[in-house]
Amino acid sequence: MYKWLFLLLPLSLLGCSMEVTSSTEEKHIETIKHVLEKLFTGPDQELVELFEEPENVSVIGREGESSSTESPTELDRYLEDQYKPYFTTNMYERFIGIYAMNYPLKSYASDYQLRVGSIEVDQIESTEGVYDFTVHVMYGKDGMEEKEKEVEGRVNVNDEGKISNIEILDDHGLSEKLK
């Protein structure tokens, strides 16, 4: 009887371990999808309004002097509320500088509407916490038929469930279309 117990115990622990991994992976995928959904839906009117307010803009002079204040602006606080909980500190700063304003503001400036058709996220089997994604972004102007572009990229999620790296590898011309 004890033989069976020793044989079954490791198998039951393995099942629990796989369940935890699956749950963690689901949480990572949920985080990734949330960020991508926010990024490719818009334009976000609140973001646009905050961006257009002069007190939210920093002006950098010839000597590299900045006119921004030390305290966070309303725009800073808005972006923090929308994105910061999902990123490591370093990646949050990079994401805001590279991606957070890019697609929403380009779509606003060119009068395009963006929405997510679907999002596919797949974990890279050989590397824990690394995921490839494809976002099917629908875009169009009022009164015109929507078109679709695929946006492909890769995301790293750390043990705490925070995005530690995100890279859009190919937007198949979406950025150019929004100019």
What are the structural domain ranges in the chain?
Answer: 27-55+71-177
Query: What DSSP line would sit under 127-178, residue for residue?
Result: STTEEEEEEEEEEE-TTS--EEEEEEEEEEE-TTS-EEEEEEEE-TTHHHHT
Q: What are phi and psi of 151, to 5 degrees?
A: -120, 125
Q: Identity (one letter) of the amino acid at 171?
A: D
Chain segment 117-151, per-residue pLDDT in tens: 999 999 998 999 999 999 999 999 988 899 999 99
Nearest by Cα to 72 from 60, 85, 81: 81
Cβ(47)–Cβ(104) below 8 Å: yes
> What CATH class has 27-55+71-177?
alpha beta
The string of pLDDT tens digits covering residues 14-67 is 444 444 457 889 999 999 999 999 999 988 888 778 877 777 665 544 555 545
